[in-house]
Amino acid sequence: HKRKKSKAPLAKAEFVAGKPPGGSRTNLKDYTEAGANLIKRAQHLYEVHVWTRDSYPGAVLQLETAKDVWDKVCTDAQSCMELTDRMATMITKYGVHGRSYVVDKVRPLIASTYGFKTGSSDKVKDKNIATYKMLLEESAFHYKDPEARTGYAKNEIIMDAIVAAWFKTKTGRGITYSEYFSPISLVTLALIFTVIEFGIQEWSTGQFHQATFDETANKIVYDNHLLDLTDWAALKPEVTNVVLQRMHDEARAGTGAALIKPAGRMTEEARERALAELEAMDVD
């Protein structure tokens, strides 16, 4: 019988120097253009997964995700290369980059949103400490009215953070990777909540002290926020889904990009009715 045709081996990404660099670090510039471009696209898509699908994937999932995004960028580019361990590590390391990026976008919003003041007088410091304590009591910071704790996940900083990070322009990552951000996922919200909480902690002494985003400590904070958000979303899924979709739609509309309405999507009237229902529910 006929022998099965074996698949041609995949091309290998080439190094500029003709061999791998010495030392443990490999940079995009070490690869020739074709390989570097694919790796860069894969890093960006991996980062999107961290923002929208799992902000702190374990080691096994990191590698699986790296392989998945590599397959996708290869398919999109209609050109594929072998994914080496070295390249996979370059992709998964972008998880830290993705989380740091959100910190950089959210940090400037903290003081103006919550009224933290600069100054070294005891009066200013005491007021800042009182604000810090109030905001972190039962995660009051994400409510529209933090003191009354009403308006779950409706504080203006949440939409401001979504826009600052992913919807600043028509070429923002929220537009380019629309299928990951529409609707806004609970993972995205949990990451934003985690970063806001971290930003508030930087005012814990009454004065601003920039800290390093501790990956291990903040994973615990993130996990707790994700559990709370999952409980909230389960209160009335058909309505909370509308809220999450609206977050995306408002952020997208702000860029001037046209809204995409997939087949079978809820009409605006139905959405308004569902929102009115949620407003009437005691879920705050």
Q: Would you say residue 191 has pLDDT above 90? A: yes
Q: Where are the beta strands (DSSP E) in 112-238?
A: none
Q: Do 149 and 86 share a structural domain?
A: no
Q: Are residues 106 and 75 in the same domain?
A: no
Instruction: Tell me what the mean pLDDT of segment 201-229 comes to.
Output: 96
Asked if residue 137 and residue 259 are part of one domain, the reply reads yes
> 35: which residues sit within 8 A by CB, 6+ positions away?
13, 14, 81, 87
- Whether 105 and 67 share a structural domain: no
| Residue 279 predicted with pLDDT over 90 | no
Task: Kindly state whether residues 110 and 251 are assigned to the same domain.
Answer: yes
85 exposed, middle or buried (CB, 10 Å; 0-12, 13-18, 19+)? exposed
Which domain-ending residue is among 92, 122, 144? Answer: 92
Q: Please give the C-alpha separations between residue 248 and each of 11, 127, 141, 190, in angstroms, as whole numbers.
A: 39, 35, 21, 15
Q: What is the pLDDT of residues 50-98, one digit of tens each?
A: 999 999 999 999 999 999 999 999 999 888 888 988 889 999 999 999 9
Give a yes or no: residue 11 inside a domain.
Answer: no
Determine which of 33-47, 119-133, 198-212 has the lowest per-residue pLDDT on average: 33-47
pLDDT of 7 above 90: no
Together in a domain, 264 and 138: yes
Q: What percent of the chain has pLDDT over 70?
A: 83
Of residues 162 and 9, the one with the higher pLDDT is 162
Domain that holds residue 61: 28-92
pLDDT of residue 11: 66
Q: Assess if residue 6 is contained within a domain.
A: no
Domain count across the chain? 2
For residue 205, give the nearest of 132, 107, 147 by alpha carbon: 132
In this prediction, residue 104 carries a pLDDT of 97
Which pLDDT value is given to residue 6? Answer: 43
**C-alpha distance from residue 179 to each of 3, 172, 184, 250 (Å):** 42, 13, 10, 15
Q: Indicate if 193 and 52 belong to the same structural domain.
A: no
Question: Does any domain span residue 18?
Answer: no
Say if residue 145's pLDDT is above 90: yes
Confidence bin at 160 (pLDDT 50/70/90): very high
Q: In this structure, is residue 198 part of a structural domain?
A: yes
Say if 37 falls within a structural domain. yes
Regarding whether 151 and 55 lie in a shared domain, the answer is no
Mean pLDDT of 96-105: 97
From 69, 92, 115, the end of a domain falls on 92
In this predicted structure, what is the pLDDT of residue 27?
A: 75
Specify the pLDDT at position 34.
Answer: 78
**Domain presence at residue 10:** no
On whether both 238 and 134 belong to a single domain, the answer is yes
CA dist., res. 176 & res. 166, Å (int): 9
Residue 109 shares a structural domain with residue 235: yes
> Is 34 domain-assigned?
yes
Is the same domain home to 69 and 196?
Answer: no
Asked if 74 and 142 sit in the same domain, the reply is: no
pLDDT value, residue 139: 95
Q: Do 65 and 57 touch, CB atoms closer than 8 A? A: yes
Is 39 among the domain residues? yes
Predicted structure pTM score: 0.86
